[in-house]
Structure 1
Amino acid sequence: MEMQEMKELAEVNGTLEERTVNKGEEECAGGGAQGKLEPPKPSRAISSFFGECGGSVAPLVQGPLGWGGVVPLDPMEYNPSKSSYHPVQDACWGHGQRVPYLAVARTFERIEEVSARLKNIETLSNLFRSVVALSPSDILPCIYLCLNRLGPAYKGLELGIGETILMKAVAQATGRQLDQIKAEAQEKGDLGLVAESSRSNQRTMFTPPKLSAAGVFSKLQEIARMTGSASMNKKIDIIKGLFVACRHSEARYITRSLGGKLRIGLAEQSVLSAIAHAVSLTPPGQGFPPEVLDAGQSKSAEARKAWLEEQTQILKQTFCELPSYDIIVPILLEHGVESLPQHCKITPGIPLKPMLAQPTKGIGEVLKRFEEAAFTCEYKYDGERAQIHILENGDVHIYSRNQEDNTSKYPDIISRIPKVKKDSVQSCILDAEAVAWDPEKRQIQPFQILTTRKRKDVEAAEIKVQVCLYAFDILYLNGESLVKEPFSRRRQLLHESFVETEGEFLFATSMDTCSLDEISEFLDQSIKDSCEGLMVKTLEVDATYEIAKRSHKWLKLKKDYLEGVGDTLDLVVIGAYLGKGKRVGMYGGFLLACYDEESEEYQSICKIGTGFTEESLEKHYSFLKDHVLEKPRPYYRWDSSTEPNHWLAAVQVWEVKCADLSISPVHKAAIGLVDEEKGISLRFPRFLRVRDDKKPEEATTSSQVAHGLYRRQQQIQNQQLVEKAEEEEDFY
């Protein structure tokens, strides 16, 4: 930013200060434009840079400086992890003022320093308590900043800023050479730390306006919405503007947010818990000063814990049924946690996270688990999960298993829905599988054929790969949620509400039986019909639809499950070994990793070199050679004995089969979950296919490796009953 522009920006925001101003006064949140919430009237485009707060953030009005007129803390002294936290007195901004972004950054620092999940939930909830008490309209941008998201997944708003662009912006904003930035980033392994140190060593004549959480969030959204040939330079200008205004650790976390990874070990489950704790302990809507600062103060430690867990479960269940912070948070602020179920319900147009099945190793296990319950067997189709939403106005939307909007990918499905639904259907949500279909041979095609289809903005006339939609569940019908209904009832309503059309819309092929021989024959037939195997589902008892859960009410039975591990794994490629012999000139083996949600790191789980054809190895080499790193990412966890020839960026997910799992002194997968010092590795891993439909963060988790696969394997080997640790786990 040029000196004249900096001066104008500072003058407009009322923050023209010499660098010799007292440090405490300079960094008090109430001292700058972001502390005073009257938006400035810009004289130039750049002057409005810090005044915008985005359409979703209502402007605040100036109020008292703090509790009883006390000046708020210096943001650098802000500590949301302190014991006996006071949401007003311990805040670093006053009532009616914008939440300083530095308060969010200081919270991230505390969370990054501590690995204890419960303590981090408490720390984050303290920040949220202050926001609710002092600046409630800032709570939504603060939540999204903690999740490192710009909105609901189905809106598809993503930053997509590459590391090279970020380095360029850091260099330009701090006056350093790009080569210096690259070298330091290589050394530290974290561009965020480089940005922080570069900014802290920079001196400017005038102090730029201080960043607010809402202002930063608004700028991130603005960057994401930019398109066109000139958009990259505009994005860099905005990023430079943010960096120039950064103080202390702000540059670290803005850089990480722009790069897509906060790397502080904060999972969405923890954020939901923190939100529930915050609005329960410091209820919103009290006015100022709030009378109740800690609603759980009079409770015993045990009663307080139970109460907060109950409140958290209400919020989490609500979020399962209506996964939109944009809708839930305003209702939460107005009505509180306990009223959420009355105001937030499943809504067509807002995608749900799907129910998933547990793997099994054989028909005998199925019969044992369901010995007292009626069940059905359905074909398990090898396609892409498709959640079909029919709105009352006739609009049809299609969402992926990750809640991404796939409507423009399947115009052929959209056009056929009005033909296959009966007139009685006004609105509904279907769970289905989109499968590649050969209209000439009238049969299913492999999943790999489906992946060749264009991903977005597909024109119906250009479609070369036809799809057939196989519907297997209905979750909502004409204003009524059906997720609490037994599967037998849901299946009946599905069949009564739609009509089949060959090659376009069919119901999942199924058979109700409890005969081992019949299940075995049906499994064989499913393979002959180009399916993966069977899904086995309870019909009456414990037969509800468990949103966002991997449940024992649904079991997966594949042909290759009958030998070896009862499920495949989706693993991330993080390294490659140079080929020898016939594989010279390409990669001959690879280092794979699972994903740990708590630590946000990739943990090595095996080397793999089987299951590849020469053609597939050539394709892998052609793709992966463009993603080689000079050194491993700081969020890779591995042992020096497994160091590959080339480290790779975590960009691709592979589906892998193995004989079994074992405790490993070398690999780091699920370390600490089964053995305190050792991880888990795969024995005889075999490559099956690339999972283009999955992001690296959606790979098999360390928890699934430990609890869903390793412990299940041990229990089967030991002929033991399933332990509580293997109970249903949250999908998200």
Structure 2
Amino acid sequence: MSDLNFLVDYSKRVSKCKKCKQELEKGSVRLGKLLPNAFGDSDTEMKQYYHIDCLFDSFKRARATTKVIESADDIQGFDKINQKDKDLIIEKIDSMEKGKKSATTKTPTKASMKQSDEEVKTDLEESDAESDKKRKLIDKTEIKSKKIKIDINSDDNRFETFQKICNKVAKDSSHLKKSSVIREFFKNGINEDGFTGDMYTFLKLILPSATNRVFNLNSKQLVKLYSKIFDCDFDEMSAHLNQGDVSETCCSFFTKSENIKPEDKSTLTIHQIDTYLDELTKVTKENDQLNLLEKITKKCTKNDLKTFIRLIKKDLRIDAGSKNILDAVSPNAYAAFQVSRDLKDVVERVSDLVQNGKPGLKKDLSIRINLMTPVKPMLAEACKSVESAFVKCKNGILAEIKYDGERLQLHKDGSKFDFFSRNLKAVQPHKVSYLKEYIPKAFPNADKIILDGEVLLYDTKNKKPLPFGTLGAHKKNEFKDATVCFFVFDCFYLNGEDLMSKAMKDRRKMLEEHIKEIPGRVMLSEQTLIKNPDCLRKLIMRTINEGLEGLVLKDSKSIYEPGKRHWLKVKKDYLDEGSMADTADLVVLGAYYGTGNKGGMKSIFLMGCLNEKTQKWHTVTKVANGFDDKTLEKLQKSIQMTKADKKDSPPDWIVVNKSLIPDFYVTDPKKSPIWELTGAEFSKSDVHTADGISIRFPRVTRLRDDKSWKEATSLQRLRKLFDASKQKSDLALEKTLGSVKRSVFGEKEDDRSKKAKKEKKTKKEIKSESDSESDSDMPSLFKDNIFFINSGVDKSTDLKRYIRAYDGKIVDENFLDEATHVIVNRLDEDLPKNTPKNALK
């Protein structure tokens, strides 16, 4: 049987309407009911067709238990009909709902926006008291609103109403119309007699990412739990999940389940759903999650469950962000939310400004910071030339080194600290716990402060930052001479004063006046004022030559604008139309199913290269960017692939990490396409097997139909490209930036030449300097030597550091045949079969 009770299509021949008995002309749109076939198998169904008007007329006299069309989601094939017919059906659904409401006697209750403190309660109607006790699900939900009187029994608070508004928002492609749908709802309510619902709870649900709820449930885990709830086959559900939407998967198997059946009518409220979501964040054990989800599901219609799971996934599929929704609340609501991230505070302040008890007539909402609540960080857009930087930064450029770490926003209120990531999530303690000790020392006069910066590992021996990815807890042990350091580049709140409206140069000055740098722990970002293009060119050259990620450029008079991309970032892959970027011609080795709109499609591809010595293929990166929808559609059939069974071992021709096993393997890598991949830089990755070489931020820039697998980038060639990318010559930079001599940060060429003339050194001084330099240089003792360190070798981490420091190379078991030396504890210990005998020395 189908998951849905209704269908829509175009009549293939002349037939008759079940209700009026008149003809359904060939090619005309028709609605159908899907009913069990009394004359066939239990799994077969029969179809009864109607004119659109006729079917909706029949609903008017239907019993309360009869299934009717409540939304477009109830209709099979709705997405395949033309827009005109879609609009007609949606209009009929809306009219039917309005007719129901007008026919129902209801005591009208209009929202009073006057100040009041009213507690309202709703019964969650839980049936299993023992289960309630076990999971501590409260039986009463108290909603306190300081400013708005809420009718808890209002139709505006029904979960079904929430879903209808979501469907309307999703239906409109225009963002202005999406905002209009929300605005009209908050003004008139679902019954068009005035909104009497709970605006805050409604916004909490329609903006699921606005809350800090963490459910600890990914799509696979949800499928696993619901396969037990529905008593169905986990593998079958997992196969359905490949279509990309876990809510559709669960909804589909819900309608088929014999163990638990969907409710015919939705009875849930948004407050019950909000409470269930809160409870779900508190349970982490699988059995507790299972029991709670089962209890919720028993109260759901199929559409209730679909929306509930989408709330867990924080993706309602309505193509509307915070701005679209909050613009409907107040002109400044989005800006206020970006700064405070406190939805409740924004709603309560809006209610203060509402006139005549109707949202929509408001004064401007003020924008303010709430300490200990994350602020949406200001961001940077790509800058592709020196000239464009000066066009966008007209008041002088403050240039900062772009640190390759993790963005950190630090809030301090007395002795209390909070740390937030770029995505406003709490930062893992091991990365920032040390700051509680050092921030009071670095900012002794700051009782309340918000700092913006980057946290990364800092090499205290060589006085330089370490690259991205070294901050992980398991990796810090490999860098004994490194400390976790917080590089501060902005401050927008200090001792009760909001600094966001102050100019960048003034914020920087205040920062410099209040900070006492602690080397290797809390430091100011390196910054200089750039006044002419030549100075910026020199700085870019120095940055790239030293292997730094790039620069961030800021207008010296710019204010701090949360969430706005008004800073500029310069990286080598942005310059000269990408000619400075790292590229490689790699072979498609496998593919993964996409998610969301690309669900059920191969939209992420596993790329790799051939080891010419072993004739094995090794993985380099995954790529999902660079194709338009039309090209991606063609690739579904043009690349010959076979489905992977992740329980079995990978094919003999590929060396792939277990965590990267794809959904499909190519049938023959030598017949597979070659694509040119461009990225920000070559990087090191523990999960990829091409000597650990990978590409950061890869995208497909060209289909190399002119090349065969023999001309693609091999592993041996990839190693050379990796080494070369770390030693970019000045010639390439000069070609991109113009012929200018390299200069130190902020130092003019004329000043250097004058300085050189004044500093005449004696032979003794020169010899002393030479001796000092030679002592500090590391000799290349292990150059051209390749080491394999057997598992279990004592102090292997220290050994690796020393080998690399003296120009040696280390390989893993995949490249054991290339090793010139093998390091073991004992000569008689077990070694891999392919260990070269001449390497044991």
Task: Give the distance between the partners of 2:208 and 2:177, measured in 1 at CA.
Answer: 20
1:555 aligns with 2:555: no
**Equivalent residue, structure 2, for 1:355:** 378
1:23 aligns with 2:43: no
**Equivalent residue, structure 2, for 1:327:** 345
Q: Give 5+ residue unaligned stretches, structure 2.
A: 1-61, 71-99, 106-119, 355-359, 583-593, 595-602, 637-652, 667-671, 676-686, 689-693, 704-717, 723-736, 738-841
**Equivalent residue, structure 2, for 1:138:** 198
Q: Is the 8 A contact 2:451 2:493 kept in 1?
A: yes
Q: Is the 8 A contact 2:552 2:570 kept in 1?
A: yes
Give the deviation of 1:475 after TM superposition. 0.6
Residue type of the partner of 1:37? Answer: T
Task: Give the distance between the partners of 1:254 and 1:505, measured in 2 at CA.
Answer: 44
**Equivalent residue, structure 1, for 2:327:** 273
- Deviations for 1:553-590, whole angstroms, at most 9, x for unmatched residues? x3223345443339989xx9822257656474544674
SS at match of 2:276: helix
Q: Is the 8 A contact 2:350 2:365 kept in 1?
A: no
SS at match of 1:434: strand
1:453 aligns with 2:438: no
Residue type of the partner of 2:201? Answer: P
**Equivalent residue, structure 2, for 1:403:** 424
**Equivalent residue, structure 2, for 1:655:** 696
Task: Give the distance between the partners of 1:630 and 1:144, measured in 2 at CA.
Answer: 42
Matches within 5 A, 1:110-149: 110-129=168-187, 130=189, 138-149=198-209
**Equivalent residue, structure 1, for 2:245:** 190
Q: Give 5+ residue unaligned stretches, structure 1.
A: 1-19, 65-92, 277-310, 608-617, 632-639, 644-650, 663-684, 690-715, 717-732
- Deviations for 1:672-722, whole angstroms, at most 9, x for unmatched residues? xxxxxxxxxxxxx99x99xxxxxxxxxxxxxxxxxxxxxxxxxx9xxxxxx
SS at match of 2:408: strand
Residue type of the partner of 2:697? Answer: V
1:166 aligns with 2:222: yes
- Deviations for 1:602-659, whole angstroms, at most 9, x for unmatched residues? 989999xxxxxxxxxx99941653463799xxxxxxxx9999xxxxxxx999733679
Matches within 5 A, 1:517-536: 517-527=534-544, 531-536=548-553
Structure with greater Cα Rg:
2
2:605 to 558, 561, 575: 575
Q: Is the 8 A contact 1:592 1:605 kept in 2?
A: no
Inter-CA distance 257–206: structure 2 relative to 1 (3 Å threshold): closer
2:444 to 405, 422, 425: 422
In the superposition, the TM-score normalised over structure 2's length comes to: 0.53
1:439 aligns with 2:460: yes
Q: Is the 8 A contact 2:225 2:290 kept in 1?
A: yes
SS at match of 1:404: coil
Residue type of the partner of 2:130? Answer: A
- Aligned Cα RMSD in Å? 5.1
Task: Give the distance between the partners of 1:184 and 1:379, measured in 2 at CA.
Answer: 47
Task: Give the distance between the partners of 1:576 and 1:159, measured in 2 at CA.
Answer: 30
1:264 to 306, 318, 330: 318
- Deviations for 1:443-488, whole angstroms, at most 9, x for unmatched residues? 22112322x2369xx9x9x998512222221111121111111112
Inter-CA distance 268–468: structure 2 relative to 1 (3 Å threshold): same
Task: Give the distance between the partners of 2:620 and 2:574, measured in 1 at CA.
Answer: 27
Matches within 5 A, 1:248-327: 248-274=302-328, 276=329, 311-312=330-331, 314-327=332-345
Residue type of the partner of 2:400? Answer: E
Q: Is the 8 A contact 2:339 2:562 kept in 1?
A: yes
Percent sequence identity is 19
- Deviations for 1:339-391, whole angstroms, at most 9, x for unmatched residues? 6744x511221111111223222323323444x52332222222221212121
1:210 aligns with 2:267: yes
Residue type of the partner of 1:216? Answer: I
SS at match of 2:399: strand
Task: Give the distance between the partners of 2:140 and 2:335, measured in 1 at CA.
Answer: 29
SS at match of 1:122: helix
Residue type of the partner of 2:564? Answer: K
Residue type of the partner of 2:438? Answer: R
Residue type of the partner of 1:146? Answer: I
Q: Is the 8 A contact 1:577 1:589 kept in 2?
A: yes
Residue type of the partner of 1:330? Answer: E
Inter-CA distance 381–197: structure 2 relative to 1 (3 Å threshold): closer
Give the deviation of 1:51 after TM superposition. 8.2
1:101 to 139, 154, 159: 159
SS at match of 1:376: strand
Q: Is the 8 A contact 2:505 2:556 kept in 1?
A: yes
Task: Give the distance between the partners of 2:448 and 2:654, measured in 1 at CA.
Answer: 44
SS at match of 1:593: coil
Task: Give the distance between the partners of 2:433 and 2:136, measured in 1 at CA.
Answer: 41
1:45 to 130, 135, 143: 130
Task: Give the distance between the partners of 1:656 and 1:606, measured in 2 at CA.
Answer: 21
Inter-CA distance 584–537: structure 2 relative to 1 (3 Å threshold): same
Task: Give the distance between the partners of 2:263 and 2:403, measured in 1 at CA.
Answer: 63
Q: Is the 8 A contact 2:152 2:197 kept in 1?
A: no
Higher relative contact order (CA 8 A, sep 6+): 1
SS at match of 2:387: helix
Q: Is the 8 A contact 1:567 1:657 kept in 2?
A: no
Task: Give the distance between the partners of 1:181 and 1:536, measured in 2 at CA.
Answer: 50
Inter-CA distance 629–397: structure 2 relative to 1 (3 Å threshold): farther
- Deviations for 1:51-72, whole angstroms, at most 9, x for unmatched residues? 8488774499xx99xxxxxxxx
Question: How many residues of Structure 1 are paired with residues of Structure 2 in the alignment?
Answer: 530
